[in-house]
Each structure stands twice: as C-alpha cells, then as structure tokens.
Amino acid sequence: MILAYILTESDRDIEVVRILLPKKLSQDIQIIPTLSSYRARSLASSPGEMHLIS
C-alpha cells in the first residue's frame, strides 16, 4: 500500500532519497522522477494524476 509519493526532479535524486529514507518507510513510499521542476510542481498540485504514474 502506497502511503506517500516523493517527487524528484531527476533520477539521481532518487538515490539520495533512498539513502536518507529509513528502510522501514521505503516499502510504502513511491519515489517518482519528474524530469523537471515544472512537472514536479504540476504533479504535486494535482494529486489525482498520481495514479496515472504508478
């Protein structure tokens, strides 16, 4: 079950988030690279779109 989504601006940011995130939480969190800050802001303000990504 996904408890939260973390939006990143690039694939490289995913590595940083995975290192910082406790392993216990990482199972229930989906990390999504958005490839741009504009896309990240757009997705963050439209939670209904998240199901299209997963």
| pLDDT tens digits, 15-47 | 999 999 998 888 888 888 888 888 878 887 876
pLDDT surpassing 70 at residue 50: no
Measured from the Cβ of residue 16, the count of other Cβ atoms closer than 10 Å reads 11
pLDDT at 51: 53
Pair 40, 8: CB distance under 8 Å: yes
pLDDT at 53: 55
- The mean pLDDT value for 9-13 works out to 86
pLDDT surpassing 60 at residue 52: no
